């Protein structure tokens, strides 16, 4: 898990967060949102792969926060990696979206997850 940037009005807002901000957010994600002490791993087990033009659609079971759900993602080649972005709904995995400052700072229930896997 990494924190790349803030989001404002649904758009990436790079340069807004300091390294300290990113570290604090990552700690909150690990401890409070992902419950990583109780569930230290996230796993994905593919059940099917099919071609779709120059891409592939990979379907399978994602286990997060001790709960397993079916997901599908369109995967594309990017040089020496396979990459995808998939949106998950935190409540589907028993995760209560993060809130702070009396609700002034909050994370939406849907979260975009970016995955980059080396080909070999």
* Residues 72, 14 share a domain: no
* Residues 98, 65 share a domain: yes
Instruction: Give 58-103 pLDDT, tens digit per residue.
Output: 999 999 999 999 999 999 999 999 999 999 999 999 988 777 667 6
* Residues 98, 72 share a domain: yes
* Residues 111, 53 share a domain: yes
What's the pTM?
Answer: 0.72
- Residues 26-51 as b or e (16 or more Cβ within 10 Å = b): eeebeeebbbeeeeeeeeeeeeeeee
* Residues 59, 26 share a domain: no
Q: In terms of residue numbers, what domain contains 79?
A: 40-118
* Residues 47, 19 share a domain: no
- 21-40: average pLDDT: 77
Q: Reduced to 3 states, what is the DSSP secondary structure of residue 77? A: strand
Residue (of 11, 8, 63, 60) closest to 34 by Cα position = 63
* Residues 79, 24 share a domain: no
CB 93 within 8 A of CB 68: no
Number of domains present in the structure of the chain: 2
* Residues 103, 52 share a domain: yes
CB 80 within 8 A of CB 118: yes
* Residues 49, 20 share a domain: no
* Residues 62, 12 share a domain: no
């Amino acid at each position: 898990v990494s924190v790349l940037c803030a989001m404002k009005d649904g758009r990436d807002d790079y340069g807004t967060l300091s390294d300290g901000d990113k570290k604090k957010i990552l700690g909150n994600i690990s401890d409070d949102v992902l419950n990583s002490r109780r569930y230290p791993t996230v796993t994905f087990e593919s059940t099917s792969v099919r071609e779709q033009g120059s891409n592939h659609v990979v379907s399978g079971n994602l286990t997060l926060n001790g709960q397993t759900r079916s997901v599908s993602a369109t995967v594309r080649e990017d040089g020496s990696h396979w990459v995808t972005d998939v949106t998950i709904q935190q409540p589907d995995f028993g995760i209560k979206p993060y809130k702070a400052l009396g609700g002034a700072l909050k994370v939406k229930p849907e979260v975009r997850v970016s995955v980059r896997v080396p080909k070999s």
